[in-house]
Structure 1
């Protein structure tokens, strides 16, 4: 088994060396090509393509406010500017919320079953609440933990 591992490591080393040599030859060939007059044209084409790829807009066409199709890059950029200026600078109507409706019916009392179901839905390894006790601790206490939580809920409920 160790012989297989050593053979694998040796083959891996040889493959990396072969790839490095091939890369080196390819780069040498590329540099020789780029040193010629035709190669300079390739450099400019490459620079132009890279510059084009860095531009933010890759959208070929878009409609203006009136529904006319814009294809010119400057017009498209201007349309986006108009759109976001309108979107971000318009005043939206604010709704004032009142106190809401009062609860006219009786409030049902929390049962031990409610506490048991809620505790079962709690996920482990989550951040603790203001009390600082993780869900795992309550679950580990089993029925005693359910009783304690139920008593706390009844006390908070004003009963």
Structure 2
């Protein structure tokens, strides 16, 4: 409520009141957490606390498994599966099916520019690419930065030595 009051009025006094209450709320949450953790550690120090530690470790381990959140899914025939083994088997079957099915591709009716031999790169295209290169970026396979090619002003193909 104090935040809404400050948002509507935009007065410094309302802002200060909001900040004070927000700070008090954070302190209260920190104190409650501190009290909870102290009681938890006191409980874990007891002889029965060892069982609680194992229980806590087990629940944390279970929470790391991603499939623990699915409670039920439907089978292909709309039958509801609830047990973990059936759900895992259904997922395995489904992904095996979609990963191994050969999809038919539509026939090519228009000429595709990517089919056939690839045209050579012209010196004009090379100059344009050098101009578009950003300074300070990663180098190419020749290990020369773009700044060197820009300073030389010639296409890279003129510098390549045929062996």
The TM-score normalised by the length of structure 2 is 0.46
Higher relative contact order (CA 8 A, sep 6+): 1
Larger Rg: 1
